[in-house]
Structure 1
Amino acid sequence: MEPPSTAADCLSASYKSLHEGQLAAAIRHAQAALALARESHDNALQTAAAVALAYAHIRLAHYTTAKGILTQAFLEAPQESELRAEIMVALGICAAETDDLTAAEDFFQQAIDLARQLSIPRLMIRGLHCLAAGIYVPRGEFALAIAADEEAHHLTHLHQRPELLWSQLTNLSWTCWVTGQRDRTLHWLEELRTVAVPGTLAEGYWYLLHGELAREIGDFAGARAYLTTCRTIAETGSLPELDFLVRLAQARLSRATGDAPAALAWASDALAVSERTGYHHMQGRALIERARAALVLEDWARVAADCRAAMAVLAPLHANFDLARSSLLLARALQAQGDLAAETVWVEAVTRILNGGFAFWVAREQAWTHSLLATYAGAQGAAAQLAVRLQAALDALPPPPLRILTLGGFQVFRDGIPIPASAWQRRTTRQLLVYLLLRRAPVACEELFEALWSHLPPDSAALALNTTFSELRRILEPQLSRGTPSHYLDRQPETVSLCELEYLWCDIWAFEDAVRAGASAASTAISLYRGDLLPEEPYADWVLRPRERLRMLYINTLAARLEACVNAEAWQEGADLARHILEHEPWLEEVWRTLMTCLARLGRRSEALHAYRECVQALHQHLEANPSPETHALYQTLKR
């Protein structure tokens, strides 16, 4: 393809490169357009080329350079023109990214008003989005941010401007994730996937947020894979915003996996990125994440220092959400150090949280906020009153999602954070939860007495159930105040059951659903079965039958998949599956024959013959039998 030769063509090429994430090319084309426009003395085109050049620098976080270009262009652009409105939007972005939110809001509002006056939907849409992402999100006004971007999203479809969708969808996805709206996050990410150009900021956000969502449900391997791809996009595309955000995500992942020193290192790395770009809001967020990692290490001096530094950076921005986070972390650090100022900071933090509607974050961080809340609930005056109000706000929240693993080992994740093994010291607490998961319906108390406390007389068994139920409730919902009904557990006079099932995910249920879905979900079913049901209870009578049932479902799924591989002549996958089945059921002679056939078709004749000898040994060991004539005949054929 020939390079663009006119100023107008160069300008179009610049915006096309910008959309595709090719920032160096965008700058090159904009500079060419500017030079050609000057040669032809086309002032309007010169100004338009300058704006395109400024946008490329904005994407590279060169805000001072962009602002200089735009300020000159603003003076040259005709008043009440589309170009003037475009420049206002770009100047607003520069102001927002360099922490002058007041000026930024004024620019965006002026651009929206002018775009409305001139009937320019594209700039109305961009102005609304910039208000959402550049003003409302930094201030923690999340409801306004979502409303503004949803309006922009509606106008984008109404006026058929698909090239504008990606920015709205990234911000909607991000804001819904921050506020704990998992389903809405997935909804917007699904649409984002359809418009994101490979290698761009939009695609980077898709991987970033899927990494965050995977971490929250305990899928740490999936989270690592998503974030690795996100980092590649950030580095390849020279995207400083994404480079910063993925480092914060890596810090959170490291915390979730118990590696606090790595979390500290990632947060420090993010801070270095933010300092290079000069974006103060990023610096504040990086300091908060580093303080959060230091909290895990109980390095209270560092927590306090980073929180104070974050608050100094964030206060001029009126970044209320992040100010609330940093001040509550500071209150915890001061409390741990025995500093009398802790109560004053607590009052300031909780006031911000209640005024901003940020209780969802306190619930997400309950691993450390719960003890802080309990301390001040027993205090006097304003501190105690605010503790009561905060508890009421927490009780009114929807419950955090629980992810419960039972296949191959027991573990529970609450809002993506693993509940420590020490919480399950009493076997019966874990047993009660798994029993309810297996039944997935109300269970009679008498049945539970027989299954879990058959060694106790009825009165003692009833007392044990009451105690175990209360302990399970406390483990799953430590922030719930006494007397408030559980979100997950229901106790009636004669039955016990799980409730709010939409907030519960269990690998047993997901595995069974995948098996029922048939061949289309076979890979999902196989990946979900990490091992036998509840290996921590190898001899409990009530586990034996469901354990064997689930095991056979798994073997049958593997066998069906193996048959499909053979029919499709997928010999390598077939050999791998056959080996996998034989690890569980080494006496299945038909599977040994399939393994021999797959290896032979792959040209690995010696391995196929060795598989026969393994088959002979396995049959003798487990069944005291010899191979069938069919198996022996296959062996003889392979020997020739």
Structure 2
Amino acid sequence: MKRMSYPKQASPVLQVRTLGQVEVLVAGRPAVWHAHTAEELFFYLLSYPEGKSKAEILETLWGLDPGPVANNRFRVTLFRLRTALQNPEAVQEDHGRYRLHESVLQSADLYSFYRALSEGYHASSEAMRLESFLKAIALYQGDYLPGFSTNWVMQAREEHKTAYVQALLEVALIHYDRSDWKNTAAYLQQALHKDPYLGEHYHQRLMWCLAAAGDRYGAIEHYRRFVKFLREELGDTPMPETQALAEHIKQNQPLLSYPDWHNLNLHGHAA
């Protein structure tokens, strides 16, 4: 008698939010993890789409060495993760590395964020670059996995924040090349608010752009806040050229020709 074959049942729709909020919806309802370890494993693999070995997972998440007890914990956690997502193929093993299925990765805002960034960096026109980077910026609704405080989360959070700040700087650069000082200043302000430790030359460019856009008061106010930041956080003072620029703006003197952003490396220092 010929065995009947049944069509494979599709996995329920998955929606994952990790930027600014934590939410995993399976068919429109919150995922039921049954154990925090399953949720943690899911977000860990989400942060490393290339996959991780069992030994790396055991060590990073639970501080365990491979062994019967650790292997059983891993097996149970993996089962709970797949059960929570209602998808037996949610995690796949390939040559000793465990990774989330591509469809699971694509359900996450983090995936969409990096896809937009990649499209921006590979765009063939300025307009397409701007559109893609703005999409990435809009997707970044806040820091990665708020409420989680383990070491690997903190590291991943910093990596994703750095990518977001770079997107802001890319948009600022596009406006800078268009001599649109107001919008350049707006995106520089966002970048420096998110990461005030960016190179001092970015603070200089913000001051210059604010003054060029007619907001000399805003430029001086930023300089004062920057001086306070350096003193309180780093025990340092601004570079002589930053001080000279601030004095130039205070005296309401005509601005010198704007500096060449393209001569800066990624750390904000002159190349």
- Bucket of the pairwise TM-score, normalised by the shorter protein: 0.7 to 0.9
Assess if the C-alpha contact under 8 Å between 2:14 and 2:24 holds in 1: yes
CA change 1:630–1:404 in 2 (3 A) is same
Q: TM-score, normalising length from structure 2?
A: 0.75
Gaps of 5+ in 1: 1-391, 478-484
CA change 1:494–1:599 in 2 (3 A) is closer
What whole-Å deviation, never above 9, does each CA across 1:415-454 have from its counterpart, x for those lacking one? 4x2516xx35733112111222223245322222112221
Assess if the C-alpha contact under 8 Å between 2:45 and 2:52 holds in 1: yes
Query: Does residue 70 of structure 2 align to residue 461 of structure 1?
Result: yes
Query: Does residue 175 of structure 2 align to residue 548 of structure 1?
Result: no
In the TM superposition, residue 626 of structure 1 has moved relative to its aligned partner by 0.8
Assess if the C-alpha contact under 8 Å between 1:399 and 1:503 holds in 2: no
Partner of 2:205: 594
Partner of 2:144: 533
Partner of 1:613: 224
In the TM superposition, residue 635 of structure 1 has moved relative to its aligned partner by 1.0
What whole-Å deviation, never above 9, does each CA across 1:351-397 have from its counterpart, x for those lacking one? xxxxxxxxxxxxxxxxxxxxxxxxxxxxxxxxxxxxxxxxx98x833
* Matched positions, count: 237
In the TM superposition, residue 614 of structure 1 has moved relative to its aligned partner by 0.8
Assess if the C-alpha contact under 8 Å between 1:562 and 1:578 holds in 2: yes
Provide the C-alpha distance between the structure 1 equivalents of 2:158 and 2:218, rounded to a whole number of angstroms: 32
Shifted more, 581-590 versus 488-497: the winner is 488-497
- The structure with the largest alpha-carbon Rg is 1
In the TM superposition, residue 495 of structure 1 has moved relative to its aligned partner by 4.9
In the TM superposition, residue 595 of structure 1 has moved relative to its aligned partner by 2.4
Partner of 1:406: 18
In the TM superposition, residue 566 of structure 1 has moved relative to its aligned partner by 2.0
Provide the C-alpha distance between the structure 2 equivalents of 1:557 and 1:544, rounded to a whole number of angstroms: 20
| 2:107 aligned counterpart, secondary structure | strand
Partner of 1:575: 185
Residue type at the aligned position of 1:556:
Q
Assess if the C-alpha contact under 8 Å between 1:444 and 1:494 holds in 2: yes
Provide the C-alpha distance between the structure 1 equivalents of 2:14 and 2:36, rounded to a whole number of angstroms: 19
Query: Does residue 62 of structure 2 align to residue 428 of structure 1?
Result: no
Provide the C-alpha distance between the structure 2 equivalents of 1:424 and 1:622, rounded to a whole number of angstroms: 41
CA change 1:411–1:629 in 2 (3 A) is same
Provide the C-alpha distance between the structure 1 equivalents of 2:105 and 2:25, rounded to a whole number of angstroms: 12
Residue type at the aligned position of 2:19:
L
| 1:496 aligned counterpart, secondary structure | strand
CA change 1:563–1:495 in 2 (3 A) is closer
Provide the C-alpha distance between the structure 1 equivalents of 2:36 and 2:180, rounded to a whole number of angstroms: 45
Provide the C-alpha distance between the structure 2 equivalents of 1:609 and 1:571, rounded to a whole number of angstroms: 16
Provide the C-alpha distance between the structure 1 equivalents of 2:167 and 2:95, rounded to a whole number of angstroms: 40
Query: Does residue 120 of structure 2 align to residue 510 of structure 1?
Result: no
The alignment yields a C-alpha RMSD, in angstroms, of 2.8
Query: Does residue 239 of structure 2 align to residue 622 of structure 1?
Result: no
Assess if the C-alpha contact under 8 Å between 1:596 and 1:609 holds in 2: yes
Higher-helix-fraction structure: 1
Structure 2 counterparts to residues 42-441 of structure 1, below 5 A = 396-415=8-27, 417-419=28-30, 423-424=32-33, 426-441=35-50
Gaps of 5+ in 2: 122-128, 252-271
In the TM superposition, residue 584 of structure 1 has moved relative to its aligned partner by 1.8
Provide the C-alpha distance between the structure 2 equivalents of 1:503 and 1:459, rounded to a whole number of angstroms: 30
Assess if the C-alpha contact under 8 Å between 1:587 and 1:623 holds in 2: no
Relative contact order: is structure 1 or structure 2 higher (C-alpha 8 Å, sep ≥ 6)?
2
Provide the C-alpha distance between the structure 2 equivalents of 1:494 and 1:512, rounded to a whole number of angstroms: 26
Assess if the C-alpha contact under 8 Å between 1:406 and 1:534 holds in 2: yes
Assess if the C-alpha contact under 8 Å between 1:402 and 1:503 holds in 2: no
